[in-house]
Structure 1
Amino acid sequence: MNLDILIQNARLNDNEETVDVGIKDGIIKEISKKVSDSAEKVIDAEGRVLIPGMIEGHIHLDKALIAGRKPNMSGTLKEAIEVTAALKPTFTEEDIYERAKDALEMIIPRGVTQIRTHAEFDPAQGFTGFNTIMKLKEEYKNLIDIQVVAFPQEGIYQKPGTKEMMYEAMEMGADVVGGIPYNDKDAQEHIDLVFEIAKKYDKPIDFHQDFSDEANDMSIEYLSKKTIEEGYQGRVSVGHLTALHAVPDERLNPIIEKMAEAGISVMALPATDLHLGARNDEYNVRRAVTPIRKLRDGGVNVCIATNNIRNAFTPYGNGDIIQTTMLAIPVGHLGGAKDLPTVLPMITTNPAKALGLENYGIAEGNKANLVLLDTKVKEHAIIDIPERLYVIKDGRISVKNTRTTTIYR
């Protein structure tokens, strides 16, 4: 068999021998110590680490790269929402297209082969942003797979006409039903409607959930109960969930236990939540990030994601999910010897589970979505912040990094 690509001497796991990986017709055909078949393209990994294509599980492409237009001067969530709401009516299709395209072209070279992006709509801006993201999903399908979330940022019931738009967005091809219970008249009513729509179209759910410095008015307990009642275990994700950081263990542990039972995945968003959180703390300033370790240890599927790139919610970022994950290590106390190996899965296998991806990972018969990192120690895949030397999407080289550095002594 003549392979399309043969990767030689790749390291899949520390303390194991390197292997060859043969790729044909977009599929991993063989993994062995020595693949004997020839290939059109041979890559010698020289012992470097090969990982599955990374997954950006929570991002907003339609709101990227607008930080300079109307800055969030207070750095609070309240002002971020207000600033963005003021700007959205000025967004044109061309503007959104160019910014989202630029964001994608920041993300793709850094080894992400799958994203889930929240695309907004409301009666004021219509479907301008949503339509543009759906267009980009098709245009960029050879470079990155995009799941589009129908997302009502301004709420549903407090913005008349949005409920009807939710159904319309699903008819237009949205992959996921989104929601934001804390930014509506009644969180439980909001959650109930999202489940109603999801069941009608047999789609997964992704909520912006309990984004607050305090544990007041949380709806995560209701959501967990509702998920189990509706038989939606494993099909619900939540982003932010920062309020849990303010919950003492005697209340937190039962919440985590119920979330694990419901199969709810958590998208931790440290870059945004560190920036916006605890702005009113005068001393002993809290981190205001969802309790990653406690969720992980309680059996919850925890992922790390970017959320925003250079806007009122997150005025920085370059699309590198490894840098965001590196940030999560000290923030979440994930640098210990037993913790560090659990971090890389938070941007690979864990979000693959959250997004319901099939045939993901480095195994024979799976899709050939792979990244060759410029490090020879898998445990260092995050802390090295290594160059992504090759990105392979569906069995085709989509990115090759030829940058070299010379030190003159």
Structure 2
Amino acid sequence: MISIPQTGPWRLADATVPIGMVSVAIAEKLGLKPTQDGCYRVSLDIDAKGLVEAVWPAEAAPETQLAVVRAGNAHVWTRMADLHTHIDKSQTWHRAPNRDGTFNGAKEAAKADRTAPWSHEDANARMEFALKCALAHGTRSIRTHLDSQKGRTQPTWEAFSDLRERWADRIALQPCASLGAAKLMDEYGDEVAALTAQYNGVLGPVLYHGPEAAAQVRRAFDLAERHDLPIDFHTDENLDPTSNGLSLIAEEAIHRNWQGNIVCGHCCSLSLKPADEAERIADRVAEAGIGVVALPMTNIYLLGRDAASTPVYRGLAPIHLLRAAGVPVAFGSDNCRDAFHPYGDHDLVEVFRETARIGHADMSWGPWADAVAAVPDRLIGLQDGNSLKPGAAADLVIFRGRSFSEVFSRLGAPRMIVVKGRALSEEEATPPAFSELDGITGLAPAE
């Protein structure tokens, strides 16, 4: 890998950056021309404070007295943003496995793991492990759903709060109170909304298909309005074409002229609706200002599973339809190594690769790169954008690969993580060993 200065300003020359990770205004101002791979070739001047001072076309960068580091046309990405995770459940697969691989099997396994209250030590260790993974892979912002059923908010929220403070200079963290929307209907709804506001979080109803869904959506909006909260729904996480959660949410937001931040995760069933109906819903979602986060790694694992047959329909929101309608679309990690998904490492490079390949967005890798960077960062709302431009933090991921094909063919290849202009240490840039959690995850320590 290249070596970058640890003090003073410097220039990163000959970098290949995906279109979706460069400010549109800067690209237009500089007249940047995309490569066949959907990238721009640029050089970046980075000041002593770790901010991007200037962006230049690689072939037209002026002479400089700065220390010059040559990327050799290697891919350079902005650090990424993960809009939908569950780090509170991360690393519980071995002690709470999903025996049949179904959605209901996952719910029962997770419920069983919560039977004995998690300790502060347990929650802290597993969540910190997730953050170490995310940092090493190049993530800078995370919204995590935290299970918040009655009697289940502590010690997870306290442990999260401690982690948020300790990690503030490396990853910006945002909590989202996750619980069934039905559990918000009584006085506990106000209690959990107040808790969420106390922690500067997001209200996260899990909306299930059924006759009560419309009333539950109205209640969620009432609570969000009363406590001044953004809303992040789990919705339509199924392969039932009659499931209508996304439509209910969009219509309620439009009816209220809602100005707050709304995100809907999963939205799988939209892909099974008739084309004209799906288009109409997508247009209403755009009108309502709702962002959608696709989470196919978990949903393809869970949905449509039948031991006796090969799945026909897969769990992916219609990302092209939504984007064409003007809906902000993000890709997220969702569950990692828990009952809902036994794999994953909080690596948004893997998430981007798999989502785009599954959803056939791999013919336009470069423009879709904003789905793991600028779009989710804007929807999380903790940091000032996530596009290369003067004044932005020099938060970068530097690969060895010079094309998407090279980068995605060797995900295990080393990548350099740059935080505010400085490379992470080798220890921080290396994902932690799974053995760090022996005894906590259900595996015995090695002899």
When normalised by structure 2's length, the TM-score is: 0.81
Q: How many angstroms apart in 1 are the aligned matches of 2:228 and 2:392?
A: 25
In 1, are the aligned partners of 2:181 and 2:220 still within 8 Å (CA)? Answer: no
Q: Could you tell me how far 1:150 is from its partner in structure 2?
A: 1.9
- Tell me if 1:172 matches 2:172: no
SS in 2 for 1:182: coil
Q: 2:45 aligns with which of 8, 14, 21?
A: 21
Report the equivalent of 1:203: 229
Quote the Cα distance in structure 1 between the aligned partners of 2:65 and 2:220: 51
Instruction: Please state how far the C-alpha of 1:296 moved relative to its aligned partner.
Output: 2.2
Q: In structure 2, give the amino acid aligned to 1:275.
A: Y
2:398 corresponds to 1:393: no
Quick check: 1:55–1:113 contact (8 Å CA) kept in 2? yes
Q: Is the CA contact (8 Å cut-off) linking 2:374 and 2:385 kept in structure 1?
A: no
Amino acid of the structure 1 residue aligned with 2:170 = L
Map 1:40-55; keep pairs closer than 5 Å.
43-55=69-81
Q: Give the aligned residue type for 2:375.
A: N
The answer (yes or no) to whether the contact 2:76–2:397 under 8 Å persists in 1 is: yes
Pick closer, same or farther for the CA change 1:371–1:186 going to 2, 3 Å: same
- Report whether the alignment pairs 1:274 with 2:300: yes
CA distance in 1, matches of 2:47, 2:231: 33
Q: Which runs of 5+ in 1 are unaligned?
A: 404-409
- 1:167-214 Cα deviation digits (max 9, x unpaired): 332342133221112189832232223222333343322111111121
**Aligned partner of 2:44: which letter?**
D
Q: Which residue of 1 aligns with 2:54?
A: 30
Match of 1:367 in 2: 393
Cα distance change on mapping 1:124 and 1:173 into 2, 3 Å: closer
Give the secondary-structure state (helix, strand or coil) at the position aligned to 2:415.
strand
Structure 2: gaps of 5 or more residues: 1-6, 19-33, 431-447
Q: Give secondary structure in 2 for the equivalent of 1:156.
A: helix
Give, in angstroms, the shift of residue 17 of structure 1.
4.5
Q: With CA pairs under 8 Å and 6+ residues apart, which has the higher RCO, 1 or 2?
A: 2
| Structure 2 residue aligned with 1:343 | 368
Tell me the equivalent position of 2:120.
Answer: 93
**Contact conserved, 2:181 with 2:216, CA < 8 A, in 1?**
no
Deviations 1:308-329 (A, max 9, x none): 1111100111222111222223
Structure 1 residues 254 and 285: alpha-carbon distance in aligned structure 2, compared to 1, 3 A threshold: same
Aligned partner of 2:378 in structure 1 is 353
The partner residue of 2:133 within 85, 94, 106 is: 106
Match of 1:406 in 2: none
Q: For the structure 1 residues 330 and 395, does the alpha-carbon distance in structure 2 shift closer, same or farther, using more than 3 Å as the test?
A: closer
Native 8 Å contact 1:287 1:331 kept in 2: no
- Is 2:347 the counterpart of 1:320? yes
Which residue of the partner structure matches residue 262 of structure 1?
Answer: 288
**TM-score between the two structures when normalised by the length of structure 1:** 0.88
- Aligned pair 1:225/2:251, yes or no? yes
Number of matched residues?
Answer: 397
CA distance in 1, matches of 2:311, 2:95: 32
Counterpart for residue 316 of structure 2: 289
CA distance in 1, matches of 2:406, 2:249: 36
Who is 1:117 aligned against? 144
Deviations 1:369-393 (A, max 9, x none): 2222222236865566474632222
* Aligned CA distance change for structure 1 residues 400 and 126 (closer, same or farther; 3 Å): closer
Aligned alpha-carbon RMSD (Å): 2.7
Report if the CA contact (8 A) 1:152-1:178 is conserved.
Answer: yes
Q: Which amino acid aligns with 1:121?
A: S
For 1:167, the aligned partner's letter is A
Q: Please report how far the alpha carbon of residue 400 of structure 1 lies from its aligned counterpart in structure 2 after TM superposition.
A: 5.0
Q: Quote the offset at 1:35 in angstroms.
A: 6.6
Q: Partner of 2:158: helix, strand, or coil?
A: helix
- Whole-Å separation in 2 of the counterparts to 1:127 and 1:183: 29
**Kindly tell me: are residues 64 and 183 of structure 1, through their superposed partners in 2, closer, same or farther at Cα, counting changes over 3 Å?**
farther
Q: CA deviation at 1:363?
A: 0.2
**Which amino acid letter does the alignment assign opposite residue 83 of structure 2?**
G
**d(CA) in 2 for partners of 1:246, 1:225:** 20
Corresponding position of 2:276: 250
